[in-house]
Structure 1
Amino acid sequence: MIPGKAPSGVFVQTDRATHEAWAQLTIKAPKASALLHVLANRVAQHNAVVASYPVLAEISGMSVSSVRRAIAALVEGNWIEVRRIGPSSTVNAYVLNDRVAWTQPREAKRYSLFSATVIASAEEQEDRDTLDTPQKPLHRLPLLGETQLPAGPGLPPEAQPALPGMDSDLPSRG
């Protein structure tokens, strides 16, 4: 079984009423309750996880058919929503708690808009036999973030020289 790792932070919060309802779910559908714990551990701040049935089976220690039944029980109990990704339903987004936002009018084609943690398994990749070998690096787009970018002619030199090893990180151009 793959060890669970919190995406960011170490807490998942639920209220007391939810704990009581979750306890009843554990009595009625233990595997559904266990899968809900697995999903809750991986949702990060967006309350959604994207994964295939085989990956959910692998990370939960259940069979694929048990995962399917557990998901059906969670949907029926209004614990999660399932949003299909692609036409075949082999990969879905499992949304906990929040309702998804629709971006188009009701009569138009609707698209679900949410962020999610995506769990991929090496076994499901077409190039799985080469994943352990060095891969050609991808082209990276430059990130601007909080880096200082020099622009313009710059300021005149300071009256006091910089201390050794404490040179300014903004070059001046004149």
Structure 2
Amino acid sequence: MSDTKTKLTQPQVRGSWVQTERKAHEKWASLISRKPRAAALLHLIIANMNSRGALIASQTTLAELSGTSVSTVKRSVKVLVDEQWVQTIRIGSERGGALAYVVNRRVAWADKRKNSQYALFDARVLVSERDNPQGLEGPDLTHIPSMSPADGQLPSGDGEAPPSQPSIDGLEPDLPHLRD
């Protein structure tokens, strides 16, 4: 597997920047004057997209984040799709499903430009409590503690009783401890 392909399969860390084309900014200015809600939604999508230019979110969540109604989001998405600012990919059924919004790479990107030649698809997913009446916290899950290589174990808690054989003087066990 080539180095480029290997890098594409690694999880991406979301950066704090995106890049845009100057020509796209000129057209974006026109969009702002013609369809301000669609232009604002495009900003919101780009601000939350991952390094591949994709975001998965329900229209309810986008409406909540943009301070508009779901019908305004639907109209805005139609404008953005019709004018080729974004592509939508349906996830799930038309009723109850969500859309993946993929930003046109000629408009904005957040990864190395040369990676645009690959069709690897992943996305950031935004969810809202409004879309999840059962809540986002969920039940307490079983947690298995794990240690990093530099971590040291510190005995604590009730635990089992100590071994029945007492320590031999001068050969006490060397338990890990914090040093000043």
**TM-score bracket for this pair, using the shorter chain length:** 0.5 to 0.7
Q: Any idea what the Cα deviations from partners look like across 1:131-155, whole Å, max 9, x if unmatched?
A: 3xx8312566x89xx959xxxxxxx
Q: Is residue 2:54 matched to residue 1:48?
A: yes
Structure-1-length-normalised TM-score: 0.63
User: 1:8 Cα deviation (Å)?
Assistant: 2.9
Contact 2:15 2:51 in 1 (8 A): no
Q: Is residue 2:113 matched to residue 1:119?
A: no
Q: Indicate which of 17, 21, 46 corresponds to 1:15.
A: 21
Partner of 1:162: none
Partner of 1:95: 102
Q: Any idea what the Cα deviations from partners look like across 1:34-62, whole Å, max 9, x if unmatched?
A: 00000000012120110111100001111
How far apart, CA to CA, are the structure 1 residues paired with 2:85 and 2:120? Answer: 19
Q: Secondary structure at the match of 1:95?
A: strand
Q: Is residue 2:78 matched to residue 1:75?
A: no
Shift in alpha-carbon separation, 1:115–1:31, aligned structure 2, 3 A: same
Q: Any idea what the Cα deviations from partners look like across 1:15-49, whole Å, max 9, x if unmatched?
A: 11011011111111110000000000001212011
Determine what percentage of the aligned residue pairs are the same residue. 37
User: 1:11 Cα deviation (Å)?
Assistant: 1.6
| Aligned Cα root-mean-square deviation (Å) | 3.1
Partner of 1:137: 141
Contact 2:61 2:130 in 1 (8 A): no
How far apart, CA to CA, are the structure 2 residues paired with 1:85 and 1:55? Answer: 15
How far apart, CA to CA, are the structure 1 residues paired with 2:142 and 2:16? Answer: 31
How far apart, CA to CA, are the structure 1 residues paired with 2:71 and 2:127? Answer: 19
Structure-2-length-normalised TM-score: 0.61
Query: What is the aligned residue count?
Result: 128
How far apart, CA to CA, are the structure 1 residues paired with 2:21 and 2:105? Answer: 15
How far apart, CA to CA, are the structure 1 residues paired with 2:27 and 2:63? Answer: 24
Shift in alpha-carbon separation, 1:36–1:27, aligned structure 2, 3 A: same
Q: Secondary structure at the match of 2:77?
A: helix
AA in 2 matched with 1:115: D
How far apart, CA to CA, are the structure 2 residues paired with 1:71 and 1:92? Answer: 10
How far apart, CA to CA, are the structure 1 residues paired with 2:67 and 2:83? Answer: 22
AA in 2 matched with 1:61: G
How far apart, CA to CA, are the structure 2 residues paired with 1:94 and 1:39? Answer: 8
| Unpaired segments ≥5 residues, structure 1 | 1-6, 100-111, 149-164, 166-174
Select between 113-122 and 53-62 the one with higher mean Cα deviation. 113-122
